[in-house]
A and B are shown apart, each in its own frame.
Chain A
Amino acid sequence: MTNPVMRFWRSTIGRKAVMAVTGIIGIGFLLAHITGNLLVFKGPDAINSYSHFLHGPGAELLWIARVVLILAVILHVAAAYSLTQQSHAARPVGYSMRKPQVSTFASRTMRWGGLLILIFIIFHILHFTTGTFHPGGDYVEGDVYINVVHAFHVWWVAAFYMFTMIVLGFHLYHGAWSSARTLSIIGDSPQPLHRRLAMIIAVVVWLGFTLVPLGVLLGWVG
């Protein structure tokens, strides 16, 4: 008898379910992350004390979250990669003419968008978590406010962040909606292609994250 977990993973639906669950974990994290970020507008003390809480009393929680998130990213990427390979193999010879009818731009850019987001995550960790790569000023451990201000005074860093957030918005516009359908946590609809909640999530995440680099560039922060 084959292992039921492996069988679930091998099935296309199993891997899609894994992508959906890990994606929703990611959305939850992003919303929490935005809430923390916006403290930057309340001044250095607010965001720095939040950071001190996470690294002090909240350290265990932080590590649990990190482990869950890293696992989620690994599973999400592994499933996406293998499903993409399978899809390419499913149509080895393409059409000479093909007109998409209803698929959104967001749905057709999930793979490239996902790749960019993955690169961004790695960059972002080196940039703000470890401080390994921090152009625009010395990385000061624990002084989130200063690090943010320095970082986004570098125009290309701010541009890279803001561009990726647009891509992330598109990724979530399709991802949030399709995850809910994959897991069948929403009901049937006479207009199944309509999506309202996913639109709200996409806009909130895009705007929430874009405000910080934009705020620094426009001088609202720092």
Chain B
Amino acid sequence: MMNLKLHVWRQPSAKDTGRLETYEARDVSPDMSFLEMLDVVNEDLIVTGKRPIAFDHDCREGICGSCGMMINGVAHGPQRGTATCQLHMRTFKDGDEIVIEPWRAQAFPIIKDLVVDRSAFDRIIQRGGYISVNTGGAPDGNDILVGKDRADHAMDAAACIGCGACVAACPNASSSLFTGAKITHLGKLPQGQPERDRRVVAMVEQMDEEGFGNCSWFGECQEACPKEISIDVIKQMNHDYVAAAARGSD
């Protein structure tokens, strides 16, 4: 069992100004996940009549992407390739102080405490993160052949859970890793080809409109990504964007 000191960003609503507040987390088991540790702190807060710490979470198994937070200055905390919900308290030691902050980006406004609004990502997806298919009978499974290396590339990019850690970790608050992952995921597959030019132009335009920064190749996003998506997807996005612009695609 360990005792920790937490410095947590508290902000009752988007309009309020927030600040870091200090809490004691007592009798934390090393086997708890980071979110379970916060649950325990919240139980104490509720019992003493205080407002619990709001944080986003859903699956708690590393696949939904909702649990992002900045832990001691690192998106999703110190363990590589791990979402906050999969981070265990054994990565900390007794007496540690932990600073917990929400993602910081103009495009991710704070809703409450550690919860931010990531619907900017949804709007980027709406502009082209899909393929159009006609309805009808299910096509034959082997109708369109996909090479193994292409399939692997596409699946690596498709691992993105949209958590926003790339934006949070980027010194420019750029969403290039997210957008690049979607573009690579669909652009590597035959089904993604018909809309490929239009997709990249529209998604990049939306990403810029949402107020994300540009990519300076710091590499921080790749390191923060719980799915360890490579910055090569950004290279792919740039390539597709420049090619589409050269072809004069709208």
Contacts and interface: CB of A to CB of B under 8 A. Distances in A.
A13 B74 contact: no
Contacts, number: 138
A91 B232 contact: no
Given A12-B214, A97-B73, A192-B232, A91 B104 contact: yes
5 contacts: A86-B213, A96-B99, A108-B218, A178-B217, A181-B234
Interface of A: 4, 7-8, 10-17, 83, 86-87, 89-103, 107-108, 110, 174, 177-178, 181-184, 186, 188-189, 192-193
Contact of A99 (B74, B105, B213, B238): B74
B18 to A, nearest CB: 9
B213 A87 contact: yes
A145 B144 CA distance: 68
Q: How large is the interface on B (under 10, 10 to 19, 20 to 34, 35 or more residues)?
A: 35 or more
A83 to B, nearest CB: 5
Given A13-B238, A183-B238, A95 B230 contact: no
Contacts of B212: 90
B104 A13 contact: no
Secondary structure type dominating chain B contacts: mixed
Contacts of B231: 181, 192-193
B220 interface: yes
B223 interface: yes
Interface of B: 20, 70, 72-74, 99, 101, 104-107, 169, 171-174, 204-205, 207-208, 211-220, 222-224, 230-232, 234-239, 241-242, 245, 248
Given A13-B237, A192-B222, A91 B245 contact: no
Contacts of A184: 235-236, 238-239, 242
A203 B217 CA distance: 20
A39 to B, nearest CB: 36
Nearest to B18: A93
Contact of B106 (A92, A96, A110, A174): A92
Given A101-B224, A181-B217, 17 more contacts: A4-B245, A14-B241, A16-B214, A89-B211, A89-B213, A90-B212, A91-B105, A91-B172, A91-B213, A95-B101, A181-B234, A181-B238, A183-B242, A192-B219, A192-B232, A193-B219, A193-B231
B241 A11 contact: yes
Contacts of A100: 171, 218, 220
Nearest to A10: B208
A90 B105 contact: yes
Contacts of B218: 100, 102-103, 107-108
